Amino acid sequence: MHAYYFDNLPTDQRLPHITDPARPVSPETLAKLGVLSWVVPVPPHAASPSNSQGISEEEDCEVNKVAKERGYKNRDVINVSREGMGADEEIRYILSGSGFFDVREMPTDAWIRIAVAPGDLLVLPAGIYHRFTLDTKDQIRALRLFKDEPKWIPHARSAGTDANVHRVGYLRDVGAVGA
């Protein structure tokens, strides 16, 4: 996993968008934003398109340990490609392909780009402004973990989302607003 500041140039979103000079972002900076990450090798069977669950809940691996520790009970596998293009924190485990998660840094509001590839396990906290895009390979397969029933509802940034209980809790957690 590689994180860096996004250049905000109006070109193809699927390009890396690395600033010149590059401005890397450390795991410690991401952790202050509540973004956690691990690299967990993908078992060969998990990357197979015919495997509908990625990894089973019974397998002894770091993904399942993180899911259990964080209270995640459900999962699914999502295939995102150019052809087929919530309120909870999000856990994503990349099984194949690659892409970019962008998160907003607090308090600067700058975009930080996180390049993900097979084996990357990423936790995005509830309430953080974020987005996902494919890279130029136009394909990614990821295991998504959910605390309750699988769901994902996009919320565009607005005064309403700024006042959302999850957003307010996130800002409090990262010290951007008083308790």
Domains of the chain, first to last: 2-173 (2.60.120.10)
Instruction: Tell me what the mean pLDDT of segment 26-30 comes to.
Output: 96
Res. 131: pLDDT tops 60? yes
Tell me the percentage of the chain whose pLDDT exceeds 70.
Answer: 93
> Is 152 a residue whose pLDDT tops 80?
no
pLDDT on residue 177:
75
Query: SS in 3 state form for the chain?
Result: CEEEEECCCCCCCCCCCECCCCCECCHHHHHHCCCEEEECCCCHHHHCCCCCCCCCCCCCCHHHHHHHHCCCCEEEEEEEECCCCCCCCEEEEEEEECEEEEEECCCCCCEEEEEECCCEEEEECCCCCEEEEECCCCEEEEEEEECCCCCCCCCCCCHHHHCCHHHHHHHHHCCCCCC
For residue 160 the two structure tokens come to 């309403």
163-177 pLDDT per residue, tens: 988 899 999 999 887
What average pLDDT does range 111-134 have in this prediction? 94
Q: Over the chain, what is the mean pLDDT?
A: 89
